[in-house]
Structure 1
Amino acid sequence: MTLTLDPQSQAATAPADVLDADFYGFQRRLTEAEQISVAEIRDYLEREVRPGADDRWEATTSPRHLIPGFAELGLFGSGIPEVAHFENSAVYRGWIALEIARVDPSTATFIGVHSGLAMNAIAVGGSPEQKSEWLEPMARGELIGAFGLTEPLHGSDTAKGLETTATRRTNADGADEWVLNGAKRWIGNATFADVVVIWARDTADDQVKGFLVRQPATGFTATKIERKQSLRAVENADIVLEDVIVPESDRLQEIHGFRDVAIVLRLTRADVAWQAIGVAVGAYEAALAYAKTRVQFGKPIASFQLVQQKLADSLADITASIALCVRVSEMLDEDAQKDHHSAMAKAFATKKMREVVARSRELMGGNGIQLDHGAARFFADAEAVYTFEGTYDMNTLIVGRAITGIAAFV
């Protein structure tokens, strides 16, 4: 294949080598352009993201200094035709989520919130004017977004239980505006975002609507959540909205109820499944490297049967998860993916991720709980990935509803 030269880095780029954890070579299904992009992104992640990942995790700080590099690589809005650097597939976008998460799940989550949730909310629900105003600057990393859906008392039941309210009124100048009141919790990027997409229930028709809350906003308070033990480098926030005024022009014009919100969530849920695979791969790679160098009883522990069994089981779980996610992403491109398809992928991939990171930590013995040996951060971060974008239980019940035609959660 022909090499190309990246004018920015002056580094020759070619389709990336297949990861050892990609046992069946699924990456080769990507186009040449997609594989070249994977190579560039993987190189950047190893050079710029991995070296400081443990320190950022301990310090609980997001990688804001890396935002220009992420934008230059096309990581923001890659699935939105108006701003994507090149035409690409959902499988490619999923693979990129895997690549980022195998190096730093917190970085993958930061990008997922800004690009997958906030930008997609505007791409799906925004008017042409809103898309024109926001998407290009967000793709360039000049403006950062957050996505405010989950509330202190409502996570799994948000569709029916959302309590944040939006009341329409006419101001003294005769212009229509909305008054937002309520609270949000676990909102990534909200402490430094330039725009926060807030989902609130219209007090007039009881339908959920979306609002672009520009920062800073009077009555809007975002407080960083401390003492987390998972995805520590993601700056999650508690948000309080007290009579926050949003002009009608900043209401997402194409959002008419929670069904429209669900479209955004379906676009990102499969990406979280890919992210879970990346977490598993990161832990697996650390465990494999450790097993080859850790000597006990006079030989590397990789030579022991039980250690090899752990590695083989983990690789099988990773491979099965990749296969599932490849197909569900293909279905997205075919416009055939439904909520239950992405829900199954997210539930399965996160369940297997949990098993892989547990084996990887166990393989390292006591060293497995120390950041220096590579598995501990993935072991801890897996718990958050297992939970957000729908808990395992809720995603399995979405699949169960599709199987039986009976909803077990309402």
Structure 2
Amino acid sequence: MTTATTAPPALQPHDYLNVDALLSDEERAIRDAVRAFVQDNVVGQVGDWFEQGTIPRELAPELGKLGVLGMHLEGYGCAGATATAYGIACLELEAGDSGVRSLVSVQGSLAMFAIWRWGSEEQKQEWLPRMAAGEAIGCFGLTEPDSGSDPGSMRTTARRDGDDWILHGQKMWITNGSIADVAVVWARCSDDGKVRGFVVPTDTPGFSAPEIHKKMSLRASITSELVLDDVRLPADAVLPEVASLKGPLSCLNEARYGIVWGAIGAARACFESALDYAGTRIQFDKPIASFQIQQQKLANMALEVNRGTLLALHLGRMKDAGTLRPEHVSMGKLGNVNAALDVARTARQVLGGNGITLEYPVIRHMNNLESVVTYEGTADVHSLVIGQALTGISAFR
């Protein structure tokens, strides 16, 4: 038995378990680059974006220059980064705001991934290089007003008319919808009942994307309906490599993986804000960090942030090794988003009245996470996915 003779490194409040040591030099470089971008281009402005209910479209080309749009895809101007590197980027982006990470996630893991995985070579060549550069923005049309957790009940239809396809229906809660240049829309075909994906340029007659207003969450993000009023598309608009729900569900699994990381970025931002505030806020002639109950809150927040980061990193290594299953991603999303919500709510309490203002990031992240816990699979649905994996019994039907 050997005993280490070197002293352990000093504790770092912002990296309590020294997760940094588990990253490669390349992963740290990507983290630092994305963190610097967020600090320079998001942190100072995002409170105003949130208050105004918008995100500047011109942010997309800057994200393209950073190399994070479709960064985990190969070829067509994409970076070909590892899954872990992509996750690290999602963490840093969401530490800025969930809306920024959503823009990147919908672009790369939903719209671009759908074309990259299931599209024709012509579709890939036409769209992916421009989307990777942020010159073209994509959206992903699956959810409907009456079809959320059960996408198989979708009512949007695609019917043949000669060589053309006619799409008719409505999609709901679509990130990037009203600023998109292209939409990947999923519809049930009237001839055989199969679900197919369609690449729909948003200037096609009959397509419209009215923006959804009066949101109290994800306000620094564009959310829209998609209305497809007998949209006529040529035969080559269909994604040729899939004709089932496997298509959209594979895309959702890619995006959910990014959320596993991103939620912890939001949690980290809330924890760091609370830690800093507790050390500088004076009450009863001393900083509130000196009181036991505040230290307990900080300790619990640090626990969740570090535990969630390790979970995300482990899933990233599994994804890079080819051993990650969708059920694993469900556990990651369920655990990390719920943990992030707990951290955000606790941080809000530490900041007291200041916790409800946009001068601090906490209430913004807290509100955003109420959407993150619902979209791309609700917490309830992911619990049932895990339950089925544990018991072998489906509780969905």
Tell me the TM-score normalised to structure 1 length.
Answer: 0.91
Aligned to 2:378: 391
Aligned to 1:101: 94
Q: Deviations over 1:175-215 (max 9, x none)?
A: x1111111110001010100011010111111111001102
Residue 238 and residue 19 in structure 1: after superposition, are their counterparts in 2 closer, same or farther (change >3 A)?
Answer: farther
* Alpha-carbon separation, structure 2, partners of 1:322 and 1:154: 32
- The 5 Å alignment of 1:323-334 reads 323-334=310-321
1:284 aligns with 2:271: yes
Secondary structure at the counterpart of residue 148 of structure 2: coil
Q: Deviations over 1:269-309 (max 9, x none)?
A: 11111111111111111111111111110111111111111
* Alpha-carbon separation, structure 2, partners of 1:330 and 1:117: 21
Aligned to 2:360: 373
Residue 84 and residue 326 in structure 1: after superposition, are their counterparts in 2 closer, same or farther (change >3 A)?
Answer: farther
Q: Does the CA-based 8 Å contact 1:74-1:84 persist in structure 2?
A: no
Residue 328 and residue 163 in structure 1: after superposition, are their counterparts in 2 closer, same or farther (change >3 A)?
Answer: same
- Following TM superposition, the consecutive aligned residue runs of length 4 or more in structure 1 with deviations greater than 6 angstroms are none
Secondary structure at the counterpart of residue 223 of structure 1: coil
* Alpha-carbon separation, structure 1, partners of 2:23 and 2:74: 18
Q: Deviations over 1:142-185 (max 9, x none)?
A: 11100011000110011x21111111221xxxxx1111111110
- Supply the AA of the counterpart residue of 2:68: L
1:30 aligns with 2:17: no
* Alpha-carbon separation, structure 1, partners of 2:13 and 2:57: 30
1:262 aligns with 2:255: no
* Alpha-carbon separation, structure 2, partners of 1:368 and 1:129: 50
Secondary structure at the counterpart of residue 329 of structure 2: helix
- Supply the AA of the counterpart residue of 1:303: S
Cα drift, residue 63 of structure 1: 2.8
Which is further off, 190-199 or 253-262?
253-262
Secondary structure at the counterpart of residue 213 of structure 1: strand
* Alpha-carbon separation, structure 1, partners of 2:13 and 2:120: 44
Aligned to 1:382: 369
- The 5 Å alignment of 1:2-21 reads 20-21=13-14
Q: 1:124 aligns with which of 117, 121, 125?
A: 117
Q: Does the CA-based 8 Å contact 2:256-2:376 persist in structure 1?
A: yes
Aligned to 1:76: 69
**Structure 2 unmatched ranges of 5 or more:** 1-10
- The 5 Å alignment of 1:215-230 reads 215-230=202-217
1:153 aligns with 2:161: no
* Alpha-carbon separation, structure 2, partners of 1:220 and 1:79: 30
Q: Does the CA-based 8 Å contact 2:72-2:79 persist in structure 1?
A: no
Q: Does the CA-based 8 Å contact 1:102-1:281 persist in structure 2?
A: yes
Aligned to 1:205: 192
1:353 aligns with 2:340: yes
Secondary structure at the counterpart of residue 333 of structure 1: helix
Aligned to 1:4: none
- Supply the AA of the counterpart residue of 2:134: G
Secondary structure at the counterpart of residue 232 of structure 2: strand
Aligned to 1:60: 53
Cα drift, residue 19 of structure 1: 8.4
* Alpha-carbon separation, structure 1, partners of 2:60 and 2:12: 25
- Supply the AA of the counterpart residue of 1:243: D
**Structure 1 unmatched ranges of 5 or more:** 1-17, 171-175
Q: Deviations over 1:368-388 (max 9, x none)?
A: 111113311111111011111
- Supply the AA of the counterpart residue of 2:288: I
Aligned to 1:162: 154
- Supply the AA of the counterpart residue of 2:203: P
- Supply the AA of the counterpart residue of 2:357: Q
- Supply the AA of the counterpart residue of 1:215: T
* Percent identity of paired positions between Structure 1 and Structure 2: 38
* Alpha-carbon separation, structure 2, partners of 1:149 and 1:51: 33
- Supply the AA of the counterpart residue of 2:266: V
Secondary structure at the counterpart of residue 289 of structure 2: helix
Q: Does the CA-based 8 Å contact 1:21-1:318 persist in structure 2?
A: no
Aligned to 1:173: none
Residues matched between the structures, number: 387
Residue 198 and residue 19 in structure 1: after superposition, are their counterparts in 2 closer, same or farther (change >3 A)?
Answer: farther
- The 5 Å alignment of 1:172-191 reads 176-191=163-178
* Alpha-carbon separation, structure 2, partners of 1:336 and 1:205: 34
- Supply the AA of the counterpart residue of 1:180: L
Aligned to 1:113: 106
Cα drift, residue 95 of structure 1: 1.0
Aligned to 1:241: 228
Secondary structure at the counterpart of residue 210 of structure 1: strand
Q: Does the CA-based 8 Å contact 2:57-2:179 persist in structure 1?
A: no
Aligned to 1:143: 136
* Alpha-carbon separation, structure 1, partners of 2:202 and 2:287: 55
Q: Does the CA-based 8 Å contact 2:76-2:125 persist in structure 1?
A: no
Aligned to 1:309: 296
* Alpha-carbon separation, structure 2, partners of 1:84 and 1:312: 43
Cα drift, residue 337 of structure 1: 1.4
Cα drift, residue 87 of structure 1: 4.6
- Supply the AA of the counterpart residue of 2:208: T
Which is further off, 99-108 or 80-89?
80-89
Aligned to 1:194: 181
Cα drift, residue 85 of structure 1: 5.7
* Alpha-carbon separation, structure 2, partners of 1:252 and 1:27: 41
- Supply the AA of the counterpart residue of 1:108: R
Aligned to 2:393: 406
Q: Deviations over 1:306-351 (max 9, x none)?
A: 1111011011111111111112122211222111110110001011
1:275 aligns with 2:262: yes
Cα drift, residue 130 of structure 1: 1.3
* Alpha-carbon separation, structure 1, partners of 2:79 and 2:105: 19
* Alpha-carbon separation, structure 2, partners of 1:39 and 1:83: 25
Q: Does the CA-based 8 Å contact 1:30-1:92 persist in structure 2?
A: no
